[in-house]
Structure 1
Amino acid sequence: MAQPAPPASHSERRPGGEQAINADLIRLHDDLQLSDSQEPAWRDYTVAIAPNAEAQARHQAASELLPMVPTPRRIALIEATMAQDDLDFRKQAAAVGAFYGKLTPEQQKVFDRDTLPQGSDPRPG
């Protein structure tokens, strides 16, 4: 996965889903060459950015409910879902920032490079 602060539904949008996320995290971990003292921060980071089953269930329930409620309730449901997604994002963003702060400047460059969204990599090839 390796993208900073992925939305809770991130695995739904990645080809290969959670397996691709795990492979990306393994690659990121290897590329960062973390010290033993950085490993606890890594574990906290990976827990914080893991796909959120609660959010996935919330999105599924909202999707199923939308066709059955009148428009004003649809809007309220969408708004409530978005508000919770925003809270989830802020928690993930804080975890990314905390982990990033534990990295050396060189590791930060590696993190920045490895966590670019797909298709955004400026490296040739």
Structure 2
Amino acid sequence: MTADLIRLHDDLRLSDGQEADWKAYTLAVAPSQDLLARHRATSELLPLVPTPRRIALIEATMAQDNLDFKRQSAAVNAFYGKLTPDQQKVFDRETLPPSDAGGDRR
């Protein structure tokens, strides 16, 4: 678990009843070894294949990434639905991507 997830967990002040939902959420959003291996294999193959195969390889990788994203977004939505309105505000604030200005989002 990353420092950001630990901080988010602490800041959400989850109830005992929400802990199982938290565990399911963190497992679902963690980068899978399959994803990392798929990206590594794609990067290694791209210079070795002709352009039409590169395009097909990139397309296949993107399609699988999209499936992973849908799975993760379903987990986020399921967990978010278990949070109180105040916890949702914390979650929204703390999971906002960093700004391009490089400032701290907290």
Provide TM-score, normalisation by structure 1: 0.78
User: For residue 80 of structure 2, what is the aligned residue in structure 1?
Assistant: 100
Q: Kindly tell me: are residues 77 and 102 of structure 1, through their superposed partners in 2, closer, same or farther at Cα, counting changes over 3 Å?
A: same
What is the rounded CA distance, in whole Å, between the counterparts of 2:105 and 2:5 in structure 1? 22
Question: Match for 2:5: what amino acid?
Answer: L
State percent identity of aligned pairs: 69
Matches within 5 A, 1:1-125: 22-119=2-99
Question: Match for 2:42: what amino acid?
Answer: A
Shift, 1:52, TM fit: 1.3
- For the aligned residue pairs, the C-alpha RMSD in angstroms reads 1.9
Question: Match for 1:47: what amino acid?
Answer: L
What is the rounded CA distance, in whole Å, between the counterparts of 2:48 and 2:104 in structure 1? 48
Provide TM-score, normalisation by structure 2: 0.92
Shift, 1:119, TM fit: 2.2
Ranked by relative contact order (alpha carbons within 8 Å, sequence separation 6 or more), the top structure is 1
* Structure 1 outlier segments of 4+, above 3 Å: 122-125
Q: Kindly tell me: are residues 63 and 115 of structure 1, through their superposed partners in 2, closer, same or farther at Cα, counting changes over 3 Å?
A: same
What is the rounded CA distance, in whole Å, between the counterparts of 1:112 and 1:61 in structure 2? 34
CA contact (8 A) 2:96 2:105 kept: no
Unaligned runs of 5+ in 1: 1-20
Work out the number of aligned pairs and report it: 104
